[in-house]
Structure formats: C-alpha cells, structure tokens
Amino acid sequence: MTAPLIVGNWKMNGLAADLGEAQAIAAGIIGARARIGLCPAATLISRMAEAVSAAGVAVGGQDCHAEVKGAFTGDVSAEMLQDAGASLVIVGHSERRAGHGETDADVAAKALAAVRAGLEPIICVGETLDQRQAGQALEIVTGQVRGSVPLALADAGFAVAYEPVWAIGTGLTPSLAEIEEVHAAIRAALRQIGGRAVAAPILYGGSVKPDNAREILHAAEVGGALVGGASLKAVDFLKIIAAAG
C-alpha cells in the first residue's frame, strides 16, 4: 500500500522563531509510515527546507503563479518555490478560490505550472455549506476536479485534497460516510483522466485533529490529510502523523 501523505498548511502563520516547531516535527517522524510535508509562507520556505529536508520532510508553497516569471508584483512562480527548496505546492485552496477569485481554470494553470517546475501539486476542491445543504456536494466537487486537474497531469505526480469549505478551521467535519462518498466520486473522476492519475492520493482536509485523525486516515480512499491549525504545533501534528500508522 502507498504511504499516506500528511501535509501541514501553515497559512499566514510562522516567523523564523517558529522554525523550532518544524524541527521538532522533523525529529519526531522517524519511523513514521506516512510521507510528510510542511507548507509555510513563502518567506520561510528556504529556511524550513534547510532545517527539515535531511529528515525527509518535504517543504511546499501554498500557491504559485502560472507563469515562470514576469511583471506580476507580489506573486511567486513554481520555479521560484522549487529554487527555494520546495517540492510540493498547494493550489486552489478555498481561501484562494474565495479570497482571490481563483477559478478552476486558474487552478488548472497553476497545477500545470507546478508540474513544469518539478513540484507535486496538491489540488484542493470542496463544497460550501450552502452547496452541501442543497445536495450539490458531489456535483460541485467532481466539477472542480474536472476543471482543476488538467488532462496533461495524467502521468505526473499530484494529489487532490477534498476540503469542505465549512469544515476548514471550524472544528466541524463531515461524517466518515460523507468523506468516503466524496472521495469515491473524486476517484471516479480521476479514473477518467487515466494514467497515473487513476491512483493519485486523495487527501482529506478540514479540522483534522489528533482525536479524529485515526478514523479519517483509515477511511476508504483517504490517502492522507491536509492539516491547517493542528500542523502549527509539533505535538499535535505528530499525533496526527502517528494516527496514520
């Protein structure tokens, strides 16, 4: 069985003083069954990579621009992330889709850019509470997968993260049956892409904590977790990683 992928998304948190948490995570994963990643703000990528790469922790960006370089003030390209020591990048997080107006087409272009630069994109999808309550979760999520995962990624390494918008940072999570239902629908959409995409890991994200990680990580078609708040403290993130074993 492929090792689960467990990635911490630090969002807009973390200063040099917090690198000790990343070092504690790196020191604590010896013997872990999972593949581990940490996605800090772009300002910390190179220092974090220096601190944790030797322990086998992958470092990633939280977003990238689709172009290699150019007049895009404030943006960071996938090539720049790779140059700074990243091997992963989150694209299409709901905080980017909602707060920065990113469309499926934007996300697909970023995912392609990531692969072009040698990064493994983690492509995020997920429905809002209104969409779930209207019975549209499967339709929305599979539509996002079709729109955000380019067919050209069929033979690239990538992951999809199912992150219901209403579960992010709220302490709420879907039932295991709901998670399994959405993951099965994502798997079916990936099968239509073919190639290696058929087996791409599907992570769950949204209020993953030490006390719910074990059941979520062992649910059908859950190939890992994308963890926000609980990845900021080594003690919590290490418990989530241990729950994968």
Give catalytic status of residue 67 as yes or no: no
Place of tokens 């989150």: 90
**How far, in Å, CA of 52 to CA of 16, rounded?**
14
| 200-233 residues labelled b (16+ CB within 10 A) or e (exposed) | bbbbbbbbbbbebbeebbeeebbbbbbbbbbbbb
Contact residue for ligand PGA among 9, 131, 142, 148 (CB under 6 A) = 9
Candidate segments 145-153, 204-212, 214-222, 234-242, binder of ligand PGA by CB under 6 A: 204-212
Of 79, 95, 102, 163, catalytic: 163
The binder of ligand PGA chosen from 40, 174, 205, 223 (CB under 6 A): 205
Closer Cβ to ligand PGA, 85 or 229, answer by number: 229
DSSP structure string for 31-76 = T-SSEEEEE--GGGHHHHHHHHGGGT-EEEES--BSSSSSS-TT--
Q: How far is the CB of 174 from ligand PGA (least distance, A)?
A: 12
227 binds ligand PGA (CB under 6 A): yes
Q: Which residue sits closest to ligand PGA, CB atoms considered?
A: 228
Under rule CB under 6 A, residue 168 binds ligand PGA: yes
Q: How far is the CB of 163 from ligand PGA (least distance, A)?
A: 6
Q: In angstroms, what CA-CA distances link 229 with 4, 6, 52, 66, 190? A: 19, 13, 20, 27, 28
Residue type, 166: W
Residue type, 106: D
Q: Are 38 and 231 in contact (CB under 8 A)?
A: yes
Q: Which is nearer to ligand PGA, 69 or 100 (CB)?
A: 100
Q: Is 125 in the site for ligand PGA (CB under 6 A)?
A: no
Is 127 considered catalytic here? no
Classify residue 131 as left (phi > 0), alpha (psi -120 to 50) or beta. alpha
**Region near ligand PGA per CB under 6 A, out of 55-63, 137-145, 175-183, 200-208:** 200-208
Handedness of CA 207, 212, 217, 219 (dihedral sign): negative
- 122 contacts ligand PGA (rule: CB under 6 A): no
Choices 25-33, 57-65, 73-81, 199-207; region in contact with ligand PGA by CB under 6 A = 199-207
Q: What SS3 state is found at 209?
A: coil
Q: Which is nearer to ligand PGA, 193 or 234 (CB)?
A: 234
52 binds ligand PGA (CB under 6 A): no
Tokens in use for 145? 């997968």
- Residues near ligand PGA (CB under 6 A) are 9, 163, 168-169, 205-208, 226-230
Q: Which residues are marked as active site?
A: 93, 163
